Amino acid sequence: MNRLPPLRAWPLTVKVPLLVAALMAMVGTAASYSVLTRLTADQEAHLRQLSAAHLDALAVALQPHVTRQDVWETFDVLDRVRRRDGGETTRLLVVTLPDASVLAATDPKDFPVGTTLPPELRSRLEPSADLVIDDERRLAWFHRPIGSGATVIGHVLSEIDIAPLIAVRRDVLGTLLAVNGGLIVLFAAVGYAVVGRLLRPLGILDEYVERVRAGAVEPIPRRFIAEERNEFGRLFHRFNAMARAVAEREALATRLADEEKLALLGRLASGMAHEVNNPLGGMLTAVDTLKRHGSDDAVRQRSAALLERGLRGIGNVVRAALVAYKEPVGAAEMSPEDLDDLRYLIAHEAQRRRITLAWENQLNGPMAVDGAAVRQMALNLLLNACRASPPGTTVAMAADASDDGLRVTIQDQGPGIPAEMAGLLRSKATAPLPQGGRGLGLWTVARLLDRVGGEVEVGVGAEGGTTVTLSIPFLEGRRTYAAA
Mean pLDDT along residues 242-267: 73
Give the length of the chain: 484
- The alpha-helical segments, DSSP class H, found in 368-439 are 371-388, 419-426
Residue 332: pLDDT band (50, 70, 90) is: low
CA 224 to centroid of chain Cα atoms: 25
The candidate with the shortest Cα–Cα distance to 169, out of 135, 139, 194, 212, is 135
Edge-to-edge, what's the strand order for the sheet holding 466-473? 356-361, 394-401, 405-411, 466-473, 455-460
Q: What pLDDT is stored for residue 422 in this prediction?
A: 84
Q: What pLDDT is stored for residue 417 in this prediction?
A: 87
φ, ψ at 472 (rounded to 5°): -115, 120
Instruction: Using a pLDDT cut of 90, give the percent of the chain over it.
Output: 6
Mean pLDDT along residues 116-121: 86
Mean pLDDT along residues 252-259: 72
Q: Which of 221-225, 408-412, 437-441 has the lowest mean pLDDT?
A: 437-441
Q: What pLDDT is stored for residue 310 in this prediction?
A: 67
Q: Which residue type occupies 55?
A: L
CATH of domain 11-171: 3.30.450.20
Does the pLDDT of residue 469 top 90, yes or no? yes
Distance CA 42, CA 45 (A): 5
Residue that wins the pLDDT comparison between 438 and 338: 338
Q: What pLDDT is stored for residue 321 in this prediction?
A: 59
Chain region(s) in the chain for CATH 3.30.565.10: 332-484
For residue range 369-383, list pLDDT tens digits in order.
888 788 888 888 888
For residue range 33-45, list pLDDT tens digits in order.
888 889 888 888 8
Chain region(s) in the chain for CATH 3.30.450.20: 11-171
Query: What mean pLDDT is reported for the chain?
Result: 79
The candidate with the shortest Cα–Cα distance to 395, out of 408, 407, 380, 382, is 382
Mean pLDDT along residues 192-204: 77
CATH class of the structural domain 332-484 = alpha beta
Distance CA 440, CA 264 (A): 11
Q: What pLDDT is stored for residue 464 in this prediction?
A: 82
Which of 78-92, 138-152, 405-419 has the highest average model confidence (pLDDT)? 405-419
Kindly report the pTM of this predicted structure: 0.44
Backbone dihedral region for residue 354 (phi beyond 0: left; psi -120 to 50: alpha; all else: beta): left
Residue that wins the pLDDT comparison between 475 and 283: 475
Instruction: Using a pLDDT cut of 70, give the percent of the chain over it.
Output: 81
Residue 394: pLDDT band (50, 70, 90) is: very high
Q: What pLDDT is stored for residue 7 in this prediction?
A: 67
Mean pLDDT along residues 196-203: 76
Contacts of 144 (CB under 8 A, 6+ apart): 52, 55, 56, 58, 59, 130, 155, 156
Q: How many CB atoms lie within 10 A of CB 130?
A: 17
Distance CA 93, CA 104 (A): 8
